[in-house]
C-alpha cells in the first residue's frame, strides 16, 4: 500500500473523529439551552395558617401602615440600612429629619416606615420574619390580603378590635377597615400577636418582642400618637398609601404598588450573603445589649411570654440565618420625638397613651 493511500485513510479517520466530537458537543449545548429555556419552578405556596402566622404582627395596624409594611418588607436590606441610619442620626428633629430621610436612596415604602421607629425596629430585629413576609407578599398577594382580613375578623369576634379614640374600625361588606380617628395623628397599636385573635397562634420562629409593637396584656394598647405633618409633605408620606382590599394589593399614589426589589427572585441574590449579619453593603451587624426601658409607656411592662417558641417545618425567608440579638431600643426610641405633627406642626400626641382594649 502506498504512503499516499495510508495518509488518506488516516486523514479520513481523523476527520470522522472530529465530526463525531463536534456532533456530541452540539447535542450537549442543545440540551443545556433547552434546560435554560424551561421556566423556573415557582416557589411552594404557603398555607393559610402559615400566612396568618406571618401577618399576625401587622393585621391590626391601620390600613395605610399595613400597606407600607408589606411594601417595605420586600426590601429587607434597606430596612436594615434605614434602622442603622436612624440610630446614627438620633439628633435630627422634625422637618430636618424628614428632609434627610427624603435624601436617602431607599424605596418610598422604607422612607414611609421610618416615621414609625418601633415599626422599623421591629422589622429590623425580626429580619427573618420581614424577609418571609416580603416573599409571601410578592408571590401570594391575594392570600396575604385574605389572611389579614381573616385575623381582623377573629380579633373582632374576640372583642379586641373596635373603634376608639385612636382609630375607627368600620366594615365594608365583609371587609374590615382600620383608619386613624384623627387623620392628622397615627397610633400604632401594641399587642400580643399570638394571643389577641382568640385562638392562640404559634409564634413565628425566633420572634423577638420589640417594645412599642409587642404588649403582653389582653387586647390592644396605644402609646403616643405620631403626627404626620413633617413627613406627610413628601411624595412618600402617609397620605400616599392605602390598601385595595378588593384588588388584594397595597397601593401607592393611587396605583398598585410594584416592588423593584432585587432581594427576591434574582440570580445575584444569595441567601447565604445575609446569614448571621454578613451584609455585603455596609457590614451591618446586630450586636450589643438591650438599651432603653423595656416597659411600655403608660401600659403594662414588657413581657417575653412563654408563647415564643418555634414551629417546626415553618418556611422561613432569605434572612432566616440572621442573628437578631441586637441593640434594641425601648418604646422611648432615640429620635422618636423628632417626628412631626399634623397641620399645627406638633410632634407626638399623647392623648392615647396607655389606653388598652
In a domain, 9, yes or no: no
Question: Could you read off the pLDDT of 53-112 as tens digits, one per residue?
Answer: 999 999 999 999 999 999 999 999 999 999 999 999 988 878 888 999 999 999 999 999
Of the listed ranges 33-37, 40-44, 123-127, 251-255, the least confidently predicted one is: 33-37
In a domain, 171, yes or no: yes
Per-residue burial over 287-322, b if 16 or more Cβ lie within 10 Å, else e, is eeeeeeeeebbbbeebeeeebbeeeeebbbbbbbeb
Note down the domain range covering 95. 49-356
Q: Dihedral, CA atoms, 77, 79, 81, 84, nearest 10 degrees?
A: -140
In a domain, 13, yes or no: no
In a domain, 100, yes or no: yes
> In this predicted model, which residue has the larger pLDDT, 316 or 71?
71
Determine the distance from the C-alpha atom of residue 201 to the mean position of all C-alpha atoms in its chain, rounded to a whole number: 19
Tell me what the pLDDT averaged over the chain comes to: 75
Question: Could you read off the pLDDT of 260-293 as tens digits, one per residue?
Answer: 888 875 433 333 334 333 333 333 333 333 333 3
pLDDT at 10: 55
In a domain, 16, yes or no: no
Q: CA-CA distance, 168 to 185, in Å (whole number)?
A: 12
Beta bridge partners of 190: 221
Question: Could you read off the pLDDT of 330-340 as tens digits, one per residue?
Answer: 333 333 322 33
Question: Quick check: 321 pLDDT over 70?
Answer: no
Beta bridge partners of 170: 177
pLDDT at 1: 58
In a domain, 21, yes or no: no
pLDDT at 37: 53
pLDDT at 92: 86
Instruction: Out of 24-38, 297-311, 328-342, give the one with best mean pLDDT.
Output: 24-38
In a domain, 24, yes or no: no
Which residue's entry shows cell 476527520? 15
Q: Which residues contact 3 (CB under 8 A, 6 or more apart)?
A: none
- The SS3 assignment for 221 reads strand
Q: What is the pTM of this model?
A: 0.69
Instruction: Taking residues 232-252, report their average pLDDT.
Output: 93
In a domain, 41, yes or no: no
- The SS3 assignment for 63 reads helix
Look at the chain and report how many structural domains it folds into: 1
pLDDT at 182: 95
244 phi and psi angles, rounded to 5 deg: -95, 95
Amino acid at each position: 500500500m502506498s504512503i499516499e493511500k495510508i495518509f488518506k485513510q488516516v486523514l479520513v479517520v481523523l476527520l470522522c473523529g472530529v465530526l463525531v466530537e463536534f456532533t456530541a458537543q452540539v447535542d450537549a449545548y442543545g440540551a443545556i439551552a433547552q434546560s435554560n429555556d424551561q421556566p423556573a419552578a415557582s416557589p411552594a405556596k404557603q398555607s393559610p395558617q402559615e400566612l396568618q402566622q406571618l401577618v399576625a404582627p401587622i393585621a391590626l395596624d391601620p390600613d395605610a401602615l399595613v400597606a407600607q409594611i408589606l411594601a417595605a418588607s420586600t426590601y429587607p436590606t434597606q430596612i436594615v440600612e434605614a434602622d442603622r441610619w436612624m440610630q446614627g442620626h438620633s439628633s435630627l428633629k422634625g422637618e430636618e429629619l424628614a428632609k434627610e430621610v427624603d435624601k436617602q436612596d431607599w424605596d418610598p415604602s422604607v422612607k414611609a416606615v421610618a416615621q414609625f421607629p418601633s415599626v422599623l425596629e421591629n422589622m429590623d430585629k425580626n429580619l427573618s420574619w420581614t424577609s418571609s413576609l416580603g416573599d409571601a407578599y410578592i408571590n401570594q398577594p391575594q392570600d396575604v390580603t385574605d389572611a389579614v382580613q381573616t385575623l381582623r375578623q377573629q380579633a373582632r369576634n374576640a372583642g379586641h378590635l373596635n373603634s376608639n379614640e385612636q382609630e375607627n374600625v368600620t366594615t365594608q361588606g365583609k371587609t374590615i377597615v382600620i383608619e386613624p380617628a384623627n387623620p392628622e395623628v397615627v397610633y400604632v397599636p401594641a399587642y400580643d400577636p399570638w394571643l389577641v385573635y382568640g385562638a392562640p397562634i404559634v409564634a413565628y420562629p425566633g420572634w423577638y418582642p420589640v417594645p412599642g409593637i409587642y404588649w403582653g396584656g389582653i387586647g390592644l394598647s396605644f402609646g403616643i400618637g405620631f403626627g404626620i405633618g413633617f413627613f406627610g409633605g413628601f411624595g412618600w408620606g402617609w397620605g400616599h398609601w392605602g390598601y385595595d382590599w378588593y384588588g388584594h394589593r397595597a397601593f401607592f399614589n393611587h396605583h398598585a404598588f410594584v416592588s423593584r426589589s432585587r432581594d427576591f427572585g434574582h440570580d445575584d441574590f444569595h441567601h447565604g450573603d445575609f446569614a448571621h449579619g454578613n451584609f455585603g453593603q455596609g457590614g451591618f451587624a446586630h450586636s450589643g445589649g438591650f438599651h432603653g426601658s423595656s416597659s411600655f409607656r403608660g401600659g403594662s411592662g414588657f413581657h417575653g411570654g412563654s408563647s415564643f417558641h418555634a414551629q417546626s417545618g415553618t418556611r422561613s425567608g432569605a434572612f432566616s440565618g440572621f442573628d437578631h440579638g441586637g441593640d434594641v431600643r425601648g418604646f422611648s426610641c432615640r429620635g422618636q420625638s423628632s417626628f412631626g405633627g399634623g397641620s399645627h406642626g406638633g410632634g407626638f400626641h399623647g392623648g392615647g397613651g396607655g389606653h388598652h382594649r
